[in-house]
């Protein structure tokens, strides 16, 4: 296990390659026919009326990572009305002696009239998947969708956790997808009434291998994140520490047994529980039944019982800690996207947030409806007014 | 619907070409035009070759390969080592391995992989034939060369189970660093697999 560098000991600024988007260009993306933003600011604030297209800009940036971006929308839905393809261009400055790099992602219409395809480019060369961008930048984001995270269903927290894992372990996404497919295969076999028990054995062996790999990857990320939060503990911080734990039978299994033994136990359980799972219509045992349990550490209460404001502060703290983890584990100070976060914070908390964000050393893009929210931005920040499909600096 | 710009024979040719993998309506049109222009050198010979293939192609009753004779050229080749059978999903994979030309073995084409979600079960694949060949004797090693996908690996587990009772060594292709690959560019999963299946120098 590689020990992460705690945030407070990490050199600020110079020690890590930072990735900053110095030019962002959108074409036929959502509400924009064309938009170009040039900046070298570490903090970019976007303000404007509801529906002006602020979040669209964050969404465009979020496409430089595997998946469907921060709204989890299909790429086809990101087309400007009437367009057949879109493109997002980002020129990255990586500081120091690292060469700058140009990244592009887009939806390309099929000239033969078939399905449009996602296109990813690095310095003019096509790459096979957005996973290739991970070499140049990492992204962390927080959106209002997550406001109900601690009170909502466990599935939301698992998905949130899997995103956290993905940012430090780029193979995690395909692992989770493979486990889902294998589990669906088993459910189908159980539903049809297994004609051939060896077939179920084979599927279950695959599930056990994948399931343990997913559980181990999650456990590692949670342990590292919890360690980082503990080392950076500061009771004066306006963002309370989160206590993190994984709760689930599979998670207990990987703690108690080495991976290979855990796979054997897992397989045995699947085999014994075929009847139960057939009746339930799904596979009950596995990482798909785990939960990320979050506590408000200073008050020692479950996060879901904290006030709405406290939950928001807890979530911000968690995302900031995660950004620190990404930096220490990958060597990339991440680009942080904060959608509608500033509105929930008073002046003192906003100032603390800006300070903490500056410590991470990457770049932050944030949105808010009211321009006054960003009146106290630190020097060197860029504040853009978004209106009518254009972005103009506010003075 | 645009009006047809050529006679029915040419339109039919275009429609058929458009069904080929990798060809859409536009490129099919281009290909058709090219064929028509090169009637003597290309269109005629292609028609003859297509007809001959259509009449003579059979699936090998031993290994499931596609050829114009049964058993296929590989199965009837006396120079090939009968002790090793390489199991592949599809004829395309057999061709890929033959292109590599590193193995002088026989093959077994499954004709797919197990996939409950697509309704493909053991009975739809050429598995009984494989177990029969292995049981006949003379086979010492079966190399499972299936894709590293969920369905490919599940099928590999299933085959291992089905062959377990036979005195045959079962191996699978290594997963790991591609030839000429740089470690720095590999994803973590591939690196992990490469480390787990490391070999002695």
Regarding whether B72 and B52 lie in a shared domain, the answer is: no
Order across the sheet with A117-122: list the strands: A32-38, A20-29, A86-93, A101-108, A117-122, A125-127
| Alpha-carbon dihedral sign for residues A94, A173, A251, B197 | negative
Whether residue A59 is found in the same domain as residue A87: yes
Asked if residue A243 and residue A171 are part of one domain, the reply reads yes
- How many domains does the structure of chain B reveal? 2
Q: Strand A382-387 vs strand A390-393: parallel, antiparallel, or unpaired?
A: antiparallel
Task: Report the number of distinct structural domains present in chain A.
Answer: 2
With 60 as the cut, is the pLDDT of residue A6 above it?
Answer: no
Domain of A50? 18-137+338-395
| Shared domain check, B96 and B77 | yes
Kindly report the CATH number assigned to the domain that includes residue A264.
1.20.1050.90
Q: Using CA atoms in the order A177, B191, A137, A180, what is the torsion angle rounded to 10 degrees?
A: 10
Q: Are residues B123 and B180 in the same domain?
A: yes
Buried b (16+ CB within 10 A) or exposed e, A299-334: eeeebeebeeebbbbbbbbbbbbbbbbbbbbbebbb
Looking at the fold, whether A222 and A246 belong to one and the same domain comes out as yes
Residue B130 has pLDDT above 50, yes or no: yes
Q: Are residues B107 and B196 in the same domain?
A: yes
pTM of the model: 0.79
Question: Do A115 and A162 share a domain, yes or no?
Answer: no
Asked if pLDDT for residue A9 goes beyond 50, the answer is: no
Locate A6 and state its tokens: 């705690």
CATH number of the CATH domain containing B157: 3.40.1360.10
Q: Is the pLDDT of residue A205 over 70?
A: yes
Residue of A302, A303, A322 whose CA lies nearest to A314 = A303
Domain identity same for A56 and A96: yes
Q: What is the CATH number of the domain that holds A38?
A: 3.40.50.300
Give chain B positions within 8 Å (CB) of A184.
116-117
Residue with the bigger pLDDT between A281 and B179: it is A281
Residue B26: give the domain boundaries: 8-56
| In contact, B174 and B197? CB cutoff 8 Å | yes
Mean pLDDT of B15-30: 87
pLDDT interval class at A2 (50, 70, 90): very low
B107 and B18 in one domain?
no
Q: Are residues B52 and B74 in the same domain?
A: no
Instruction: Give a yes or no: residue B2 inside a domain.
Output: no
B151 touches chain A (CB under 8 A): yes
The mean-pLDDT minimum among A164-173, A249-258, A267-276 falls in A164-173
More confident site: B148 or A170? B148
The verdict on B110 and B50 lying in the same domain is no
pLDDT over 60 (residue A8): no
- Residue A164 inside a domain? The answer is yes
Q: What sign does the dihedral B59-B62-B64-B66 (CA atoms) show?
A: negative
**Residue B192 resides in a domain:** yes
Which conformational region is residue B32 in: left (phi greater than 0), alpha (psi within -120 to 50 degrees), or beta? alpha
pLDDT category of residue B191 using cuts at 50, 70 and 90: confident
More confident residue, A237 or B165: B165
Structure tokens at B90: 């599809």
Put simply, the answer to whether A189 touches B116 (Cβ < 8 Å) is yes
- How far is Cα A317 from Cα A302, in angstroms, rounded to an integer? 15
pLDDT higher for A395 or A196? A196
Chosen domain end from B56, B76, B92 = B56
Min CA distance, B104 vs chain A (Å)?
Answer: 30
- The reply to whether residue A202 touches residue B188, judged by beta carbons under 8 angstroms, is no
Size of interface A-B (CB pairs under 8 A): 75
Decide if B142 is inside a domain: yes
Confidence bin at A345 (pLDDT 50/70/90): confident
Q: Name the more confident of B176 and A27.
A: A27
Average pLDDT score over chain A: 88
Domain membership of residue A88 (yes or no) is yes
Q: Please give the pLDDT value at position A204.
A: 95
Report the range out of A130-139, A342-351, B80-89 with the highest average pLDDT: B80-89
Task: Tell me, yes or no, whether A245 and A117 share the same domain.
Answer: no
Q: What is the C-alpha separation between A287 and A248, in angstroms, rounded?
A: 7
Burial label for A281, CB within 10 Å (0-12, 13-18, 19+), is exposed
CA distance A170 to B195: 18
Judge if A157 and A301 occupy the same domain. yes
Indicate the SS3 state at residue A367.
strand
Decide if B150 and A171 are in contact by the 8 Å CB cutoff: no
The answer to whether the Cβ–Cβ distance between A181 and B150 falls below 8 Å is yes
| A63-99 confidence digits (pLDDT tens) | 998 888 999 999 999 999 988 899 999 999 987 777 8
**Residue A32 confidence (pLDDT):** 95
Higher-pLDDT residue of A391 and B192 is A391
Same domain, B126 and B186: yes
Chain segment A207-224, per-residue pLDDT in tens: 999 999 999 999 999 999
* pLDDT (0 to 100) of residue A5: 38
pLDDT band (50, 70, 90) for residue A194: low
What is the per-residue DSSP string for B110-124? -SS--BGGGTB-GGG
One domain, residues B70 and B164: yes
Across the interface, which of B25, B158, B185 has its CB nearest the CB of A198?
Answer: B158
Neighbours of B164 (CB within 10 A): 10
Average pLDDT over residues A105-128: 85
Does residue B5 have a pLDDT over 80?
no
Q: What is the pLDDT of residues A39-56, one digit of tens each?
A: 989 999 999 999 999 999
Angle, vertex CA B48, rays to CA B43 and CA B51, nearest 5: 120
Residue A10: the pLDDT is 39
Query: Is residue B7's pLDDT more than 90?
Result: no
Give the pLDDT confidence score for residue B3 in this predicted structure.
60
Residue contact A196–B27, C-beta within 8 A: no
CB contact under 8 A, B116 and A192: yes
Residue A325 lies in a domain: no
Q: Is the ipTM of this complex over 0.85?
A: no
Assign residue B37 the CATH number of its domain: 1.10.8.420
Contact residues, chain B, for A196 at CB < 8 Å = 121-122
Alpha-carbon distance of A326 to A340, in angstroms, equals 22
pLDDT score, position B2: 55
Indicate whether B43 and B82 sit together in one domain: no
Q: Are residues B79 and B172 in the same domain?
A: yes
Q: Do B50 and B83 fall within a single domain?
A: no
């Amino acid at each position: 296990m590689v020990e992460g560098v705690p945030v407070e000991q990490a050199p600020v600024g110079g020690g890590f390659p930072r990735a900053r988007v110095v030019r962002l260009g959108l074409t036929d993306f959502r509400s924009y026919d064309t938009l170009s933003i040039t900046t070298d600011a570490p903090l970019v604030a976007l303000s404007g009326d509801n529906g002006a297209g602020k979040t669209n800009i964050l969404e465009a940036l979020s496409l430089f990572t595997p998946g469907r971006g921060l709204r989890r929308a299909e790429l086809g839905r990101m087309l400007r009305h009437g367009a057949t393809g879109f493109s997002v261009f980002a020129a990255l400055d990586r500081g120091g002696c690292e060469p700058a790099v140009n990244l592009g992602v887009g939806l390309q219409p099929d000239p033969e009239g078939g399905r449009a395809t996602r296109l990813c480019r690095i310095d003019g060369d096509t790459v096979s998947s957005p996973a290739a961008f991970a070499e140049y930048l990492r992204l962390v984001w927080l959106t209002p969708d997550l406001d109900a995270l601690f009170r909502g269903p466990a599935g939301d927290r698992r998905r949130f956790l899997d995103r956290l894992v993905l940012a430090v372990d780029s193979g995690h996404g395909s692992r989770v997808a493979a486990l889902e497919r294998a589990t669906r295969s088993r459910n189908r076999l159980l539903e049809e009434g297994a004609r051939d028990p060896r077939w179920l054995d084979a599927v279950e062996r695959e599930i056990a291998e994948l399931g343990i790999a997913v559980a181990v990857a999650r456990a590692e990320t949670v342990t590292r994140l919890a360690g980082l939060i503990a080392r950076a503990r500061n009771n004066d911080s306006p963002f309370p520490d989160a206590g993190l734990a994984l709760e689930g039978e599979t998670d207990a299994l990987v703690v108690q047994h080495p991976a290979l033994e855990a796979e054997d136990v897992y397989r045995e359980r699947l085999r014994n529980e075929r009847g139960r799972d057939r009746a339930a219509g799904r596979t009950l045992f596995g990482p798909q039944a785990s939960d990320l349990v979050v506590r408000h550490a200073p008050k020692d209460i479950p996060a879901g019982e904290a006030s709405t404001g406290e939950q928001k502060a807890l979530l911000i703290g968690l995302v900031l800690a995660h950004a620190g983890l990404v930096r220490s584990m990958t060597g990339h100070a991440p680009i942080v996207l904060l959608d509608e976060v500033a509105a929930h914070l008073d002046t003192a908390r906003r100032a603390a947030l800006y300070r903490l964000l500056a410590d991470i050393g990457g770049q932050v893009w944030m949105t808010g409806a009211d321009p006054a929210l960003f009146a106290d931005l630190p020097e060197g920040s860029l504040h853009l007014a978004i209106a009518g499909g254009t972005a103009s600096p506010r003075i | 619907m645009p009006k047809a710009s050529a006679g029915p024979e040419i339109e039919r040719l275009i429609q058929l070409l458009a069904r080929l993998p990798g060809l859409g309506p536009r490129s099919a049109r281009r290909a058709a035009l090219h064929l028509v222009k090169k009637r003597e050198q290309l269109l005629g010979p292609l028609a003859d070759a297509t007809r001959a293939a259509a009449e003579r192609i059979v699936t090998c009753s031993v290994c499931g390969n596609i050829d114009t004779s049964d058993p296929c050229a590989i199965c009837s080749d006396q120079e090939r080592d009968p002790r090793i059978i390489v199991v592949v999903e599809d004829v395309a994979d057999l061709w890929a391995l033959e292109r590599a030309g590193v193995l002088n073995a026989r093959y077994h084409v499954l004709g797919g992989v197990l996939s409950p979600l697509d309704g493909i079960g053991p009975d739809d694949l050429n598995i009984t034939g494989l177990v029969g060949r292995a049981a006949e004797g003379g086979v010492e090693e079966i190399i499972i060369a299936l894709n590293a996908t969920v369905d490919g690996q599940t099928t590999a587990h299933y085959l291992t189970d089905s062959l377990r009772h036979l005195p045959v060594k079962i191996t699978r292709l290594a997963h790991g660093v591609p030839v000429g690959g740089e470690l720095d560019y590999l994803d973590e999963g591939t690196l992990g697999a490469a480390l787990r299946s490391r070999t002695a120098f």
